[in-house]
Amino acid sequence: MMFMISVDIKKSYKFRVKGCPTTTLTELEKPKRVAMLPEKIPGIKPKLKIKVDEKVKIGDPLFFDKKNPKLTFLSPGAGKISNITYGKRRVIREIEIRLDDQETFAEFPTLTLSDLKTITREDLIDSMLNGGMWPYIRSLPYRMIADPNDFPKNIIVTIENNEPFHPNPDVYLIPNLEYFKMGMEILKKLAEHSVVGSDLSHPLIREQLKNTVTHHYSGYYPAEDPGVMLYHIKTSDTQNLAWYISGQDVIQIGKFFKHGRYPIERIVTLGGSLAIEKKHFKTRIGLPVKLLTEGRVQSNEFIRYIAGGVFRGYSVVKDSYLGFYETALNLLSEEEKEETFGFLRFGYSRPSFSKTFLSSMNQSELKYDCGLHGEERACVNCGYCAKVCPVDILPQFTLKCIVADEVEEALSHGLLDCVECGICSYTCPSKIELCSVFRKAKMEYYKEINS
Ligand code: SF4
Ligand code: SF4
């Protein structure tokens, strides 16, 4: 019997970003090199387990977290460690592996559905830590890797990610339902409830979710976010802790236990207005950005390569790699174009939250760019940010508390509920980077309470 709660997110904003990938799936050729980017994994202090020129198999440990040495990160390729680069303060930026033609795998114990009835939660967690599966489970409200010592009420599984643009469940999930089911059975041992946020439109997905607590959501980005879901289902602030995982990562866990090998396959999208081939690609973890973009981008523009979605992603250079969690690359224009006689135009094609431009009447997709279109000014108390915040924060007041260093006050204004979606920053006519300020404040608070 499926138990369901309907969460209707009224606040948020319908973005009409041009460049949505189609559901066509193309297999990419095998890369010559892959890499892990420890710097992009939040909250860990990585320590290397390998050296340059060392040989590794797929699934051999590359590094671990100094704060929790059981938390290991495994190699997404078999071959030779060809390079290790460091950033500021010797932070490990990139571990690059030159791949062998014939790759070999480290072997791990397998599990069947009937084994799951008898294995203890502790043994299961140990297997996930050893097999590099644990980092897929992250926790709210700080969005770090989950602490295996916690026992949360909910693990929230996100099937759709509506932030422009991410893989579509019709492409990544439907062919992998068997693994998804196995992954879901494993999650059920880790928390009181595994909760799936989904629009449940697909009958095959509905079938797999029988006996799972399923919360239906409706609304625009970030309605499907686990933090938004938690905000609307929790009954008190003491329930701020929940774990979450993406649908594609549930499949990874299912594959790992089924085959006893570290799964490296990834379905990745290429999207954004400057991508020529906007679609899904079957490839692997640690993919070189160049392999995905070569011949697939418009060459006459200054392009920003964004790993992840257009609001929460980060810029990458062409010669880099996609991070461990990333399943999307979006390409937007870097240029902030000055329009000739712009003051005479009515902005029919100009993306904006403000109704000042005629684009509010234009229902077609619009070409977004990375420009701020103005400089930061003082808050004018327009209230746009509060109008769109899906977790009912009043961002303008929370910001004032943070600027005045009144942390307790910011917390009472809901700082920890912030899901870092970035919509408030987008809508702000004063160009205040509200979301970055909130993310930084959350991080500082996390460090303070964990020091
Ligand atoms: S305050 Fe946080 S949750 Fe609310 S809109 Fe801004 S970034 Fe999103
Ligand atoms: S949107 Fe910007 S200017 Fe308007 S109230 Fe919020 S912070 Fe102030």
pLDDT digits (tens, 9 = 90+) for 364-397: 776 666 665 678 889 999 999 999 999 999 999 9
Helices 247-259 and 177-187 meet at what angle, rounded to 10? 90
State how far the Cα of 14 lies from the Cα of 384, in Å rounded to an integer. 14
Reported as a single tens digit per residue, the pLDDT across 341-351 is 445 555 555 56
Mean pLDDT value across residues 118-137: 97
Predicted pLDDT of residue 375: 81
State how far the Cα of 95 lies from the Cα of 73, in Å rounded to an integer. 11
Mean pLDDT value across residues 182-209: 79
Helix, coil or strand: residue 297: strand
Mean pLDDT computed over every residue of the chain: 89
Atom 2 in ligand 2: residue holding the nearest Cα: 428
What residues are paired with 329 via a beta bridge?
A: 270, 307
How far is the centre of ligand 2, averaged over its atoms, from the C-alpha of 387 (Å)? 10
Q: Is residue 451 over pLDDT 60?
A: yes
Predicted pLDDT of residue 447: 92
What residues are paired with 84 via a beta bridge?
A: 95
Q: Which residues in 251-293 belong to E strands, given as ranges? A: 265-271, 279-284
Mean pLDDT value across residues 272-292: 96
Show the tokens assigned to 135.
């980092």
Show the tokens assigned to 355.
């109704």
Atom 3 in ligand 2: residue holding the nearest Cα: 379
Of 430, 433, 436, 437, the one to substitute when testing ligand 2's pocket (max ligand atoms within 8 A of C-beta) is 430
Mean pLDDT value across residues 89-106: 96
Of 352, 377, 381, the one to substitute when testing ligand 2's pocket (max ligand atoms within 8 A of C-beta) is 381
> How is residue 369 annotated by DSSP?
B
What are the phi and psi torsion angles at 28 (to 5°)?
-80, 150
Q: Is residue 1 over pLDDT 50?
A: no
How far is the centre of ligand 1, averaged over its atoms, from the C-alpha of 414 (Å)? 10
Show Cβ contacts of residue 246 under 8 Å, excluding neighbours closer than 6 positions.
136, 157, 158, 161, 327
**Predicted TM-score (pTM) of this structure:** 0.92
Show the tokens assigned to 302.
């200054």
Apex 306 CA angle, 198 and 32, nearest 5:
100
Say yes or no: CB of residue 78 within 6 Å of ligand 1. no
Show the tokens assigned to 83.
């390079």
- The set of protein residues with a Cβ atom below 6 angstroms from ligand 2 is 379-385, 395-396, 427-430, 432, 434
State how far the Cα of 45 lies from the Cα of 66, in Å rounded to an integer. 5
What residues are paired with 281 via a beta bridge?
A: 26, 268
How far is the centre of ligand 1, averaged over its atoms, from the C-alpha of 222 (Å)? 10
Q: Is residue 433 over pLDDT 90?
A: yes
Say yes or no: CB of residue 424 within 6 Å of ligand 1. yes
Q: Report whether 125 contacts 131 (CB < 8 A).
A: no
Predicted pLDDT of residue 351: 60
Q: Is residue 268 over pLDDT 70?
A: yes
Show the tokens assigned to 225.
């976010």
Predicted pLDDT of residue 336: 61
Q: Which atom of ligand 2 is nearest to the CA of 430?
A: 3
Predicted pLDDT of residue 126: 97
Q: Is residue 353 over pLDDT 70?
A: no
Ligand of minimum distance to the alpha carbon of 436: 1
Predicted pLDDT of residue 227: 94
Q: Report whether 81 contacts 95 (CB < 8 A).
A: yes
Closest CA to 250 of 182, 315, 304: 182
How far is the centre of ligand 2, averaged over its atoms, from the C-alpha of 399 (Å)? 10
> How is residue 28 annotated by DSSP?
P
Reported as a single tens digit per residue, the pLDDT across 419-428 is 999 999 999 9
Diameter over CA atoms, the chain: 72
State how far the Cα of 56 lies from the Cα of 100, in Å rounded to an integer. 10
Lowest mean pLDDT segment, chosen from 19-28, 41-50, 358-367, 386-395: 358-367
Domains along the chain with CATH numbers: 29-99 (2.40.50), 372-450 (no CATH)
State how far the Cα of 195 lies from the Cα of 224, in Å rounded to an integer. 12
Ligand of minimum distance to the alpha carbon of 354: 2
Say yes or no: CB of residue 386 within 6 Å of ligand 1. no
Reported as a single tens digit per residue, the pLDDT across 130-177 is 999 999 999 999 999 999 999 998 899 999 899 999 999 999 999 999
Atom 7 in ligand 2: residue holding the nearest Cα: 396
Mean pLDDT value across residues 324-335: 92
Q: Which atom of ligand 1 is nearest to the CA of 398?
A: 1
Q: Report whether 130 contacts 60 (CB < 8 A).
A: no
Say yes or no: CB of residue 81 within 6 Å of ligand 1. no
More confident residue, 6 or 183: 183
State how far the Cα of 326 lies from the Cα of 172, in Å rounded to an integer. 14
How far is the centre of ligand 1, averaged over its atoms, from the C-alpha of 422 (Å)? 6
Of 9, 240, 389, 400, the one to substitute when testing ligand 1's pocket (max ligand atoms within 8 A of C-beta) is 389
Predicted pLDDT of residue 404: 96
Mean pLDDT value across residues 317-342: 82
How far is the centre of ligand 1, averaged over its atoms, from the C-alpha of 404 (Å)? 19
CA-based Rg of the chain, rounded to a whole angstrom? Answer: 22
Q: Is residue 299 over pLDDT 80?
A: no
- Torsion sign (Cα): 404, 407, 408, 411: positive
Helix, coil or strand: residue 360: helix
The pairing of beta strand 61-65 with beta strand 193-198? unpaired
Show the tokens assigned to 343.
């003051």
Q: Is residue 201 over pLDDT 70?
A: no
Which of 1-5, 79-83, 186-190 is the most confident on average? 79-83
Of 424, 439, 440, 443, the one to substitute when testing ligand 1's pocket (max ligand atoms within 8 A of C-beta) is 424
Atom 8 in ligand 2: residue holding the nearest Cα: 379
Please report which confidence band the pLDDT of residue 199 belongs to, taking 50, 70 and 90 as the band edges: low
Percent of the chain with pLDDT over 70: 88
Closest CA to 297 of 312, 276, 316, 279: 276
